[in-house]
Amino acid sequence: MDVKNINELFKQDLSAINLGLESFADNLKNEGVKAIQVQWKPPAGGNMEIAGLLDKYDAIKIKVGTDEANKKAAEIINKGKPTLIDVSTAGESIPGMKKNMILHAGPPVTWDRMSGPTRGAVIGGLVYEGLASSYEEAEKVAASGDIIFEPCHHHSTVGPMAGIVTWSMPVWVFENKAYGNKSYCTLNEGLGKVLRYGAYGDEVMAKLKWMESDLAPIMKKTLDLHGEIDMKNILAQVLQMGDEGHNRNRAGTSLFIRELAPYMVMLDEPKEKISKVLKFMHENDHFFLNLSMPASKCIIDAAAGIEGSTIITTMCRNGTDFAIRISATGDDWYVAPATMVDGLYLPGFTEDDAAPDIGDSVITETVGIGGFAMAAAPAIVKFVGGTPKDAITFTTKMYEITETENNIFQIPVLDFRGTPTGIDVAKIVETGILPAINTGIAHKKPGIGMVGAGLVSPPEKCFLDAFKAFVAKYS
């Protein structure tokens, strides 16, 4: 700028563009000066260590071909064909399952560190399985060292909330028809007093036994008669019907019922049993959650272990810890304390009753549904809080931390734009934008159950640690 221009500049009214601290802009505005505030944070929130890592990452990225690796991961997610192929039991089907093993949601956790709802569900699970004869005994058995606790995720499995899976429990069996990998999930127990929220007791046990004796066999025979179900197609439809596949599953449950009912009535079973199964599904809009979860799990598992890829392949929590895994570092967990959920509470409960964030259901977000598709489900805010505008904002923001747009899952109100798909941990670190997650809330004590639902910000630390590990691996 030459001197003449500088003189010109000072003749003009002052207009400022302010980056960062908003108080500078406020001061200018108070003096009657036009000031535009730009929402800007330095990369990694000004953390010099992370800023240094980001510099290293820029070099590594080119060396190891992260762009191509992430493109490949996203393509694998988009090409996934999650298909419901069978109803079986954990013992029969889940690889590595043992009679004295209990699978749980989230990353590895020992009995002494388990959250209230997880403990409650373990206690219930041990009694259900006959590994303890009373709830009191179950606590001792759980602490005895005779029980092997492992994450669902170590066994191609996902579990909502506490996510407890024992040997005899019925499971949905999924296959990703594009890549051949399988996934598993228990059947949804409904609302109210249920094991997954840490409740136990006679009512809970009776329902679990009925699910084993009636629900699962009828579902299996129905599925055998109907044939495999392309769950990607159904998931695509539910996003056009106000569901997001995580905490709103009314359309999914409806479509599943209407798909199977014509076959279910054909079974050689007492009609009272069939009617009870249809009613059970009808009265529980979350029935579909235990289908959208393993569908997501078998999609994302195919994208694990890609050298150089920063795509997140697991997010999960157990009420104690939140944890993620990223593609390039395979089975390594990046763990931080689970955060509290900001939500709406059932009558009689408050945030003082809440356990920290829990469950594997956040697997849905890794494939572009759930919180990432909230714009498709504005009515969900009645369940998790916020406004329909928030729902659209959540989805829109998620495009900034994802690799691609889904080729099948579309959001009508965003002009059928594909959902933000393939979460990139590097983009999370760069932008400081955390994944949008909506979730149920369990009571913090064992034996009680659901107390609400809401929105949760996962702990930043997991994502930073994963990113550091990525940089370290390739440095």
Identity of the residue, 220 or 226, whose beta carbon is nearer to a second copy in the bound complex: 226
Identity of the residue, 93 or 284, whose beta carbon is nearer to a second copy in the bound complex: 284
Identity of the residue, 71 or 226, whose beta carbon is nearer to a second copy in the bound complex: 226
Q: How far is the CB of 247 from a second copy (least distance, A)?
A: 14
Q: How far is the CB of 416 from a second copy (least distance, A)?
A: 7
Locate 152 and state its tokens: 């669902």
- Render 10-34 in DSSP notation, one character per residue: HHSPPEEEEES-HHHHHHHHHTT-E
Closest CA to 212 of 317, 366, 92: 92
Identity of the residue, 95 or 412, whose beta carbon is nearer to a second copy in the bound complex: 412
Q: How far is the CB of 119 from a second copy (least distance, A)?
A: 35
Identity of the residue, 235 or 338, whose beta carbon is nearer to a second copy in the bound complex: 235
Q: How far is the CB of 414 from a second copy (least distance, A)?
A: 8
Q: How far is the CB of 277 from a second copy (least distance, A)?
A: 8
Closest CA to 442 of 431, 456, 432: 456
Amino acid sitting at position 189: E
Q: How far is the CA of 128 from the CAs of 26, 41, 89, 243, in angstroms? A: 62, 51, 14, 33
On the CB side of 402, CA atoms within 13 Å amount to: 28
Identity of the residue, 55 or 283, whose beta carbon is nearer to a second copy in the bound complex: 283
Amino acid sitting at position 415: D
Q: How far is the CB of 243 from a second copy (least distance, A)?
A: 8
Identity of the residue, 25 or 255, whose beta carbon is nearer to a second copy in the bound complex: 255
Q: How far is the CB of 225 from a second copy (least distance, A)?
A: 10
Identity of the residue, 240 or 431, whose beta carbon is nearer to a second copy in the bound complex: 240
Q: How far is the CB of 260 from a second copy (least distance, A)?
A: 9
Q: Which residues bind a second copy (CB under 8 A)?
A: 237, 240-243, 250-251, 253-255, 257-259, 261-266, 271-272, 274-276, 278-279, 281-282, 378-379, 381, 387-389, 412-416
Which helix (DSSP H) or strand (DSSP E) does residue 68 occupy? helix 66-79
Q: How far is the CA of 45 from the CAs of 59, 335, 339, 428, 460, in angstroms? A: 21, 20, 20, 11, 11
Who's near 116: CB < 8 A, 6+ residues apart? 198, 319, 355, 442, 443, 444, 445, 446
How far is Cα 459 from Cα 53, in angstroms, rounded to an integer?
19
Locate 361 and state its tokens: 């259901």
